[in-house]
Amino acid sequence: MRVAATLSQYAASSAPLIDGHGRQISYLRLSVTDRCDLRCRYCMAEDMTFLPKSAVLSIEEMAELAERFVARGIRRVRLTGGEPLVRRGIDTLAMRLGAMIGHGLDELTLTTNAMRLAEYASMLAEAGVRRINVSLDTLDSAAFRHITRVGDLEVALRGITAARAAGLAVKINMVALAGLNEDQLLPMLAYCAANGCDLTLIETMPLGEVEADRSDHYIPLHHFIAPLRHAHAIHPIDQRTGGPARYFAVEGSSVTLGLITPLSDNFCATCNRIRLTVEGRVYMCLGQDDHVDLRSALRDGGDVDGLIDAALAGKPRAHDFHIERKSTPAVARHMSATGG
């Protein structure tokens, strides 16, 4: 059988993915494009320069690298970007990676802005995807247009409806933005309850130059959730996804609330993830620039596994974000380049 044969061919030469701090790496985030059909203010500059085609891995190259990672112990893969659903061939890639589910891979997931979700929801379900994250910062259409610069809220909501209809579990990711969506938390909670979605809140992180000073919109989550705490008691629950979120039950609501607080409460100690960019670079940390280049190794017949080992040895203990460094981001790369 093709999948099993491919995995054992790689596994023969490969050791498990344990980093220099003894953490087992089992989660790969695969950025399939740096492009996007939105221009969220905290993520991208209005006038972005994207990578030339020659710098970008082909669908075949991405699939091969993902297969190598799964052979070495990656159990979960998340497709991200940029916007993964604008990548041509995303259906081929999803089907190919989905075929590894049950053959080393436990789960294939995706993070999307939902602009093309209505078109792709059934394909994702068919590929074996069972849950997705959808980024949605507000339910106010004018604010949605402002934050995304070009987006149409109705299109996003139709995408979410299509995903639910296709049987996909949906978690809404909402970035907390002072002055832009602080009034939206309770409406978002109600929307999630009505549509069977969960909700995760994220602090804005200083990645890549954007026009505005990001610290203007930074708000720690314990402030952002104050209105929610006023309306509902919340209780920590013992749910672990191996990711950075801490989870809470919201009294009187079916919604599980996740909080991601990279700045106010660093989450790196249990980090189990590795990131592969569309250029074939492995970044060991969202918040640092160290990387290895698998694209050249892959194209020139170099030692891909040796480079992965070098990356693991160099995985830092923790990121280095500080929002108060005013206009200088922690790293020059945008989230869309590394894969959010």
Contact positions vs ligand SAM (CB under 6 A): 36, 42-43, 80-81, 83, 111-113, 135, 173, 175, 202, 204-205, 207, 335-336, 340
Tell me how far, at minimum, the Cβ of 74 lies from ligand SF4, in Å: 23
> Choosing among ligand SAM, ligand SF4, none, which partner's interface includes residue 64 (Cβ < 5 to 8 Å by kind)?
none
Q: Does 81 bind ligand SF4 (CB under 6 A)?
A: yes
CA 54 – CA 18 distance, rounded (Å): 32
* Secondary structure (DSSP) of 107-135: EEEEEE-STTHHHHHHHHHHHT--EEEEE
User: DSSP character for 207?
Assistant: B
CB contact set of 1 (below 8 Å; sequence gap of 6+): none
Which CB sits closer to ligand SAM, 205 or 307?
Answer: 205
Give the nearer residue to ligand SF4 in terms of CB position, either 83 or 203.
83
Q: How far apart are CA 30 and CA 80, in angstroms?
A: 6
Residue written as token pair 């081929």: 92
Per-residue mark of binding to ligand SF4, 306-325 (x: CB under 6 A): --------------------
**Residue 109-138 contact track with ligand SF4, rule CB under 6 A, x = bound:** ----x---------------------x---
In angstroms, how far is the first alpha carbon of the chain from the final one? 34
Question: Among ligand SAM, ligand SF4, none, what does residue 6 contact (CB within 5–8 Å per kind)?
Answer: none
Q: Assess 197 for contact with ligand SF4 (CB under 6 A).
A: no
90: nearest Cα among 121, 68, 65: 121
Question: To the nearest whole angstrom, how small is the minimum distance from the Cβ of residue 64 to ligand SAM?
Answer: 23
Q: 2 vs 9, 62, 79, 124, 125, CA distance in Å?
A: 11, 17, 22, 21, 22
Residue 336 touching ligand SF4 (CB under 6 A):
yes
Shortest reach from residue 44's CB to ligand SF4, in Å: 5
Q: Compare residues 64 and 83 and give the one whose CB is closer to ligand SAM.
A: 83
Residue 293, beta-bridge partner list: 281
246: left (phi over 0), alpha (psi -120 to 50) or beta: beta
Cα gap 38→113, rounded to integer Å: 8
Beta strand 256-260 with 246-250: parallel, antiparallel or unpaired?
A: antiparallel
By C-beta, is 67 or 137 nearer to ligand SF4? 137
Tokens representing 289 are: 């620039």
Smallest distance, ligand SAM to C-beta of residue 115, A: 9
Cα 65 to Cα 77, 145, 257, 286, 296, distances in angstroms: 12, 36, 33, 19, 12
- Nearer to ligand SAM among residue 138 and residue 173 (C-beta): 173
Q: Binding pattern to ligand SF4, positions 36-75, x when CB under 6 A? A: x-xxx--xx-------------------------------
Residues that bind ligand SF4 (rule: CB under 6 A) add up to a total of: 12
Q: Does 83 bind ligand SF4 (CB under 6 A)?
A: yes
Task: State which of residues 65, 76, 82, 248 lies at the interface with ligand SF4 (CB under 6 A).
Answer: 82
Q: Tokens standing for 307?
A: 């480079």
CB of 148 to ligand SF4, least distance (A): 6
| Collapsed DSSP state (helix, strand, coil) of residue 202 | strand
Query: Residues in the site for ligand SF4, rule: CB under 6 A?
Result: 36, 38-40, 43-44, 81-83, 113, 135, 336
